[in-house]
């Protein structure tokens, strides 16, 4: 099997408090995987481990068939926190170019090819008109889209996104998932999301993260896993009409939904 992500026996603790415990799962290349789970379950921590921002206490991580450090140049990462220093004088285009240029190069020296790649990435997230604007002048949702464009500009083989649509309005949200779906033709995608409706329409697989990781290749979560992850049957999490392909069939559904 050709794997995009291989995690084995992963353990991580913050200040002695175990956040992820003996986590083992693999993601095949070409997958579109959503990481779901309760607040504080460890989703962001897991992504940070996958891009080498945190080091595990135990276990191994391989990406794209190579040890993590060797693969990172082929991996794109969109972090959750898009807050920037509003006075930092950097334009939208420059931020996107930062994704493309290697270490030791200044973004002022980008050549025409790199600028075209940046422009194309901005176009894909619907921000072509804002290329010359200062990042600090943008709304949070727009900044989130700039960070996605920065990751797209590197043409990653594996793209990891941490709640990329958290501050994006509903129409831009589905547009972004369409972009991700299109990109999925070229890259394996792992996205953290709380938006089950958006997730259910687009992803192929889901993984529930809460100290452990339960991977579901078919995109269906069983009632037992839901309980193990959220600690209860989360009937209130089920948006009406969300396909059960993602949510699975719940014991109480017939009683509580009409
Ligand atoms: N820098 C840190 N120092 C200490 N504890 C941390 C730190 N960052 C996160 N934590 C703790 O680790 C746990 C997991 O946090 P994490 O952000 O990975 O969860 P999450 O599943 O992404 O949550 P959410 O859905 O709220 O974004 C939480 O209990 C959190 O308080």
- CA 38 remoteness from chain centre: 16
**Please, what is the angle between helix 140-152 and helix 112-124, to 10°?**
130
What region, left, alpha or beta, does residue 219 occupy, with left being phi > 0 and alpha being psi -120 to 50 degrees? left
- Residue 239 pLDDT > 60: no
Name the average pLDDT for the chain.
Answer: 81
Q: Note the pLDDT of residue 242.
A: 39
Pick the closest to residue 8 from 30, 32, 24, 31 (CA basis): 24
Nearest-CA residue for atom 25 of ligand 1? 39
Distance CA 56, CA 196 (A): 29
Instruction: Say if residues 5 and 31 touch (Cβ distance below 8 Å).
Output: no
Q: Is 193 in the pocket of ligand 1 (CB under 6 A)?
A: no
Which secondary-structure segment (H or E) carries 64?
none
Please identify, by atom number, the ligand 1 atom nearest to the C-alpha of residue 80. 27
Residue with tokens 């078919």: 218
Mean pLDDT of 14-37: 94
> Pocket of ligand 1, candidates 41, 191, 207: which has the most ligand atoms within 8 Å of its Cβ, to mutate?
41
- pTM exceeds 0.90 for this model: no
Distance 90 CA to ligand 1 centre (A): 29
Nearest-CA residue for atom 26 of ligand 1? 39
């Amino acid at each position: 099997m050709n794997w995009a992500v291989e995690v084995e026996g992963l353990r991580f603790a913050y200040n002695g408090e175990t956040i992820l415990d003996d986590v083992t799962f693999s993601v095949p290349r070409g997958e579109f995987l959503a990481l779901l789970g309760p607040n504080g379950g460890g989703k962001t921590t897991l992504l940070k481990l996958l891009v080498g921002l945190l080091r595990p206490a135990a276990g191994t991580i391989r990406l794209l068939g190579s040890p993590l450090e060797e693969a990172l140049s082929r991996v794109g990462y969109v972090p959750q926190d898009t807050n920037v220093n509003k006075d930092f004088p950097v334009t939208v285009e420059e931020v996107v170019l930062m994704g493309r240029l290697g270490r030791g190069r200044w973004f002022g020296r980008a050549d025409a090819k790199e600028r075209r790649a940046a422009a194309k990435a901005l176009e894909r997230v619907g921000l072509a008109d804002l290329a010359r604007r200062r990042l600090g002048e943008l709304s949070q949702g727009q900044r989130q889209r700039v960070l996605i464009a920065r990751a797209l500009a590197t043409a990653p083989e594996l793209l990891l996104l941490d709640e990329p649509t958290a501050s994006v309005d509903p129409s831009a949200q589905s547009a972004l998932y369409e972009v991700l779906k299109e990109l999925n033709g070229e890259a394996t995608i792992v996205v953290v999301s709380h938006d089950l409706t958006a997730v259910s329409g687009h992803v192929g697989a889901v993984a529930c993260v809460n100290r452990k990781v339960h991977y579901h290749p078919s995109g269906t979560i069983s009632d037992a896993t839901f309980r193990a992850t959220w600690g209860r049957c989360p009937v209130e999490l089920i948006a009406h009409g969300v396909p059960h392909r993602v949510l699975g069939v719940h014991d109480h559904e017939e009683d509580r939904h009409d």
